Amino acid sequence: MPNLPGLMSPEPRPAGVEWAHALPGAALGGAFSLLAAIVPYAIFGPAFLAGGAVAVILYRRHLKNGLPSPGAGARIGAASGGFGFLFFAIPAVATLVYRPDELRQGMLDNLAHYTSRGYDPQKIQQVQDLLKSPQGLSFFVAFVLFILFLMFVIGSSIGGALYAAWARKRAHL
């Protein structure tokens, strides 16, 4: 019988993420980042960084032998960002589907304040006209959700990687 690579003698694989232990912490980290985003200006980054770090902190409690690598921390953080995004997106899409008029009116009311802040009234009127159509409202919600998805996943991934690297560096001191 020929010796097929990987079938006769398994090679040791690099340690990865034990997702059974990582996903509950990632879900809690995602919820934390969503809650932290209500702090003024935290939605511009710190909330997501903290959510990714919390996910890695919770995962670390289950590790028996060592600390997660920065790459594993980034993956756990990204999962945390995915959960945080889902926790935000599900109610947002439900509002779009079941109460579009209330969502549209809230957005139009919010846009009305931008002219007093110095924004071009013609551009604000164009956005308001876009929001008045069902397709425009759906496009706007989809665009905002896409941007938030990127912010959640990338920010949380960076936070998880930074915390994992910091924890490893601190352990070696």
pLDDT tens digits, 56-74 = 999 998 887 778 999 999 9
Place of tokens 């919600």: 141
Token output for 133: 């159509």
pLDDT of residue 5: 52
pLDDT of residue 78: 96
pLDDT of residue 116: 81
Which one, of 66, 91, 90, 70, lies nearest residue 162 by Cα? 70
Q: Is the pLDDT of residue 2 over 70?
A: no
For 22, residues 6+ apart whose C-beta sits below 8 A from its C-beta are 55, 59, 76, 79
Q: Is residue 55 one of the residues assigned to a domain?
A: yes
pLDDT of residue 9: 40
Q: In the chain, how many domains are there?
A: 1
Q: Is the pLDDT of residue 25 over 60?
A: yes
Q: Is residue 135 one of the residues assigned to a domain?
A: yes
Q: Is residue 156 one of the residues assigned to a domain?
A: yes
Token output for 99: 């109460």
Residue 5's SS3 state is coil
Q: Is the pLDDT of residue 27 over 90?
A: yes
Q: Is residue 112 one of the residues assigned to a domain?
A: yes
Q: Is residue 34 one of the residues assigned to a domain?
A: yes
pLDDT tens digits, 112-166 = 888 788 888 898 899 899 999 999 999 999 999 999 999 999 999 999 999 999 9
Q: Is residue 13 one of the residues assigned to a domain?
A: no
Q: Average pLDDT of the chain?
A: 87
Distances from the Cα of 79 to the Cα of 57, 69, 72, 101, angstroms: 14, 15, 11, 33
CA distance 72 to 23: 13
CA distance 117 to 111: 10
Distances from the Cα of 95 to the Cα of 15, 98, 103, 145, angstroms: 42, 5, 7, 13
Confidence category of residue 15, pLDDT binned at 50, 70, 90: low
Q: Is the pLDDT of residue 10 over 50?
A: no
Question: Please, is 91 exposed, middle or buried when counting C-beta atoms within 10 Å of its C-beta (0-12, 13-18, 19+)?
Answer: exposed
CA distance 119 to 100: 26
Residue 144's SS3 state is helix
Q: Is residue 137 one of the residues assigned to a domain?
A: yes
pTM (predicted TM-score): 0.82
Confidence category of residue 95, pLDDT binned at 50, 70, 90: very high
pLDDT tens digits, 31-63 = 999 999 888 888 788 999 999 999 999 999 888
Distances from the Cα of 123 to the Cα of 25, 112, 118, 119, angstroms: 43, 11, 11, 8
Domain extent at residue 47: 19-171
Q: Is the pLDDT of residue 8 over 70?
A: no
Q: Is residue 77 one of the residues assigned to a domain?
A: yes
